[in-house]
Structures are given as structure tokens and as C-alpha cells.
Amino acid sequence: MLERIVAVIAALATMNASDLTPWGISILMLSMTTISVGGWVWETVYCSIVERRPVRRGFLFGPACPIYGTGAVAVYVLLGHLESPLAVFVAGSILATAIEYATGRVLEERFGRRWWDYTGWPLNYRGLVCPIASAVFGVFSVLVVFVIEPQLIAFFSSWGEAACEAAATACVLTFAADTALSVMAQDKGASRWRITLRR
């Protein structure tokens, strides 16, 4: 069992597509889910403090912000081979900022509203991205590559292949259902969870 766990971690670390098994993909999905929930907790706490009232964050009904999990997995998949924290910081800042901007534009074009707004922050671009947020994403990228993902991969690898695949399947189905319901709700004009980030 230990040898299989090591093999999975090695495959994920090198991101060799031929070695990335369904088990490895399941582990990445579970990691994405975990970080998505963590991102939701972070945003909910931060925005509640800023607004001085309880605020529920996110596009989905459930307690998750997939942009965090998706960004983290993308950073690990694309930058996990880098050994320099500085290189990961710079590349991660650029990659995460691109993901944030693209996501913001899609949501704005599709639903006509924003889920975050950096207007008023120094050197922001269209209120969707700004250097301060990019720097935070850079630090987060370093933590993802060198600390968070290795720990999550080791943890989920210990579950075994069948358990990981079952849990990942449940996560995918849950996200798919939540996304469908959330899109329908937004199409009906439900915007009760919208918040504008302030400095």
C-alpha cells in the first residue's frame, strides 16, 4: 500500500499524463474540493469582518468557492515541477490573476453582476484584478506547491483507491448539481449573496 501511495505522489508531482491514473485524478478532485471549502471559509470570515455583519460568500449554494480549488490545482499541475519558491510566486501570481480575471469576466457577462470588486484598490484593472490580490495569490501558490498539496495528496492517498474514487465521484456530482441550481437561481435574479469587496 505504501508503495502505491508513493507512486501516486510521484506521478502527481511530475504530472506525467501517462502515469496519472484515475486514482491520481480522484486525489486532485478531493484536493480541489478541500481548498474550495477552505476558500469559502476564508472569504466568508474576511467579508463578514469587512461588512461587520454575517456574510455568506460564493456563487454556489453550498459552502465552497471553486475558484480557489481550481486555481490551486492548476498551480500545482502547471508549476509543481518548479523548485524555486520565487519562480512559483511569480508564475503563480500571473496564473491565478488570469484565472480570477477570466472568471470575473465570465460571471459578469453571463449574469450581469460581480461577486468581487477591487475598484479603489491601487492599480486595479476593471475592478476584477489588482497587484495586492495578485501578490496574495503568489504567496498562496507557494504554499500550495510546497505545503498544502503535498499534505493533501499524502492524506487522501492513505484512503486507498476505491475510497478516493467514490468520494471524488460524490464531489463531482455534488458540484455539478449545485452549479446547475445556482445558475438557474442567478438566471432568476437571485443575488442575495452578492458582496462588493472594499478596501
Q: For residues 130 and 113, which has the higher predicted lDDT (pLDDT)? A: 130
Question: Which pLDDT value is given to residue 26?
Answer: 93
Domain count, the chain: 1
Is residue 192 included in any domain, yes or no? no
- C-alpha grid cell for residue 87? 519562480
Is residue 179 included in any domain, yes or no? yes
Is residue 196 included in any domain, yes or no? no
Question: Which pLDDT value is given to residue 198?
Answer: 40
20 pLDDT tier (thresholds 50, 70, 90): low
Q: Inform me whether the pLDDT recorded for 6 exceeds 50.
A: no
Is residue 58 included in any domain, yes or no? yes
Q: For residues 32 and 193, which has the higher predicted lDDT (pLDDT)? A: 32
Q: What is the pLDDT of residues 120-165, one digit of tens each?
A: 999 999 999 999 999 999 999 999 999 999 999 999 999 999 999 9
Question: Which pLDDT value is given to residue 19?
Answer: 46
- C-alpha grid cell for residue 186? 442567478
Place of cell 437571485: 190
Is residue 89 included in any domain, yes or no? yes
191 pLDDT tier (thresholds 50, 70, 90): very low
Query: How confident is the model over 16-39, as a mean pLDDT?
Result: 83
Highest mean pLDDT among 13-27, 165-179, 182-196: 165-179
Q: Which domain holds residue 91?
A: 2-187
DSSP string, the chain: -HHHHHHHHHHHHHT-TTT--HHHHHHHHHHHHHHHHHHHHHHHHHHHHHHTS----SSSSSS--HHHHHHHHHHHHHHTT---HHHHHHHHHHHHHHHHHHHHHHHHHHHS--S---TTSTT-BTTTB-HHHHHHHHHHHHHIIIIIHHHHHHHHHTT-HHHHHHHHHHHHHHHHHHHHHHHHHHHTT--TT------
CA-to-CA dists, residue 22 to 17, 76, 158, 198, angstroms: 11, 17, 15, 42
Rounded to the nearest integer, the mean pLDDT of the chain is 85
Question: Which pLDDT value is given to residue 18?
Answer: 44
Q: For residues 111 and 32, which has the higher predicted lDDT (pLDDT)? A: 32
Question: Which pLDDT value is given to residue 3?
Answer: 52
Which residue type, as a one-letter code, is found at position 180?
Answer: A
Question: Which pLDDT value is given to residue 168?
Answer: 96
The alpha carbon of 107 is separated from its chain's Cα centroid by a whole number of angstroms, namely: 16
Is residue 124 included in any domain, yes or no? yes
Question: Which pLDDT value is given to residue 57?
Answer: 83
Query: How confident is the model over 14-23, as a mean pLDDT?
Result: 59
Q: For residues 55 and 97, which has the higher predicted lDDT (pLDDT)? A: 97
